[in-house]
């Protein structure tokens, strides 16, 4: 079935670019964190935000090498990853996956949270708009599902199925991470020696986003960065501290229609967010910055006006 979808893409000239070219064109986004007087100790600090690798056995090594090369060129002090290491909760080509993560090193470490593909079972929205345990869709069905989403109002915000609540973390993924620079933050906060809080939330789809637990160890005198895979958690985080919230999950809509305005609203539906505005890019919400990264991979490599992304944030005090 996957080969059939590839054939359809190849048979159409307009299908070649989004299927075979754009999904491998990694772009780097540069943002500035404008520091206030109390944050000036972070001046010159650089972090890289990665998300949604969706590693698969067929992921080209040239693509992985391109990511590593671009990350190293930025010389980050810190690397942060906001979930969906895996695709459909499957850990494939473990040795190659581990090698890739081991090459993502930074002087102040690497930290991560988990996405809905990173637990022991794959969880996503069902037809009624509730997060539920579902089998991976076949590629052709996925195309028709995407078309239906574009033409109708997707259902969201219906909560979490009881089948989801007791799903544990992906044991093999956790074991692999112990052999890499990445330290998971599942509803936890660490304070870095440079004077920075890092807070990681559990994933919304699993009913594991628990800010009341995650922020318990937060040092209030220090600035902070919050890692939360799904941007639909943002409203629940606004009463908590932290200058930045970093998210992924949406793949930047994957098929992004930047214009006209009605086309933009249609493509936002593909992310199936309750807060449909937060599908990609930088937002100022009160005194916080939210950045929704387009991610590196996707379930099926198909992107249009939404290339894979490495986000670089540099702190500057002027």
Q: What is the reported pLDDT for 143?
A: 52
Q: What is the reported pLDDT for 141?
A: 56
- For residue 138, the domain's CATH number is 3.60.21.10
Rounded Cα distance between 307 and 294, Å, is 7
Is 160 domain-assigned?
yes
3-class state of residue 112 by DSSP:
strand
Q: What is the pLDDT confidence band of residue 152, given thresholds at 50, 70 and 90? A: low
Q: Which residues make Cβ contacts (< 8 Å) with residue 58, sequence separation at least 6?
A: none
Q: What dihedral angle (degrees, nearest 10) is formed by the CA atoms of 105, 108, 114, 119?
A: 60
Rounded Cα distance between 88 and 111, Å, is 22
* Residue 288, pLDDT above cutoff 60: yes
Contact 302, 32 (CB under 8 A): no
Is 254 domain-assigned?
yes
Range scoring the smallest mean pLDDT among 48-52, 57-61, 270-274, 292-296: 270-274
Q: What is the pLDDT confidence band of residue 200, given thresholds at 50, 70 and 90? A: very high
**Residue 60 Cα to chain centre, angstroms:** 20
Please tell me the total count of domains within the chain.
1
Is 244 domain-assigned?
yes
Q: What is the pLDDT confidence band of residue 199, given thresholds at 50, 70 and 90? A: very high
Q: What is the pLDDT confidence band of residue 258, given thresholds at 50, 70 and 90? A: confident
Place of tokens 């944030």: 313
Is 10 domain-assigned?
no
Is 155 domain-assigned?
yes
Average pLDDT, the chain: 92
Sheet strands (E) in 152-279: 182-184, 188-192, 196-200, 224-227, 244-247
H helix runs in 111-237, sequence order: 139-151, 171-177, 211-214, 234-237
Q: What is the reported pLDDT for 151?
A: 58
**Phi and psi at residue 119, to the nearest 5°:** -105, 180
Nearest residue to 86 via CA among 314, 296, 304, 306: 296
The crossing angle, in degrees rounded to 10, of helices 2-11 and 139-151 is 60
Is 59 domain-assigned?
yes
Residue 49 belongs to what H/E stretch? strand 46-50
Average pLDDT over residues 98-126: 97
* Residue 108, pLDDT above cutoff 60: yes
Residues 6-37: tens digit of each pLDDT: 555 555 556 788 888 999 999 999 999 999 99
Is 238 domain-assigned?
yes
Residue 131 belongs to what H/E stretch? strand 131-133
Is 7 domain-assigned?
no
Domain carrying residue 304: 22-316
- Higher confidence at residue 270 or residue 214? 214
Among the ranges 155-169, 193-207, 264-278, which has the highest mean pLDDT value? 193-207
Rounded Cα distance between 186 and 246, Å, is 15
Q: Which residues pair with 164 in a beta bridge?
A: none
Record the pTM: 0.92
């Amino acid at each position: 079935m996957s080969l059939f979808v590839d054939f359809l893409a190849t048979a159409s000239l307009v299908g070649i670019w989004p299927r075979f070219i754009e999904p491998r064109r990694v772009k780097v986004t540069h943002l500035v964190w404008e520091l206030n007087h109390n944050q000036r100790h972070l001046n010159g600090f650089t972090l890289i935000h990665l998300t949604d690798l969706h590693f698969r056995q067929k992921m080209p090594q040239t693509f992985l090498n391109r990511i590593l090369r671009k990350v190293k060129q930025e010389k980050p002090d810190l690397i942060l990853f906001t979930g969906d290491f895996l695709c459909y909760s499957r850990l494939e080509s473990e040795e190659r996956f581990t090698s890739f993560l081991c090459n993502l090193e930074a002087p102040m470490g690497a930290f991560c949270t988990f996405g809905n593909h990173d637990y022991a079972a794959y969880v996503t929205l069902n037809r009624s708009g509730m997060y539920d345990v579902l089998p991976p869709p076949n590629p052709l069905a996925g195309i028709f599902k995407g078309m239906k989403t574009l033409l109708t109002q997707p259902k969201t915000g219906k909560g979490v199925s009881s089948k989801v609540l007791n799903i544990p973390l992906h044991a093999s993924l956790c074991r692999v991470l112990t052999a890499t620079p990445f330290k998971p933050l599942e509803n936890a906060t660490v304070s870095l020696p440079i004077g920075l809080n890092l807070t990681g939330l559990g994933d919304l789809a699993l009913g594991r986003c628990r800010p009341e637990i995650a922020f318990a160890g937060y040092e209030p005198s220090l600035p902070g960065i919050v890692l939360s895979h799904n941007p639909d958690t943002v409203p629940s985080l606004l009463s908590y501290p932290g200058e930045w919230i970093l998210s992924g999950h949406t793949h930047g809509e994957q098929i992004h229609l930047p214009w006209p305005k009605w086309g933009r609203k249609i493509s936002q539906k593909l992310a199936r967010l309750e807060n449909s505005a937060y599908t990609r890019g930088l937002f100022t919400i009160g005194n916080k910055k939210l950045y929704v990264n387009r991610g590196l991979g996707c379930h099926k490599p198909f992107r249009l006006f939404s290339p894979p992304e490495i986000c670089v944030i540099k702190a500057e005090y002027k």
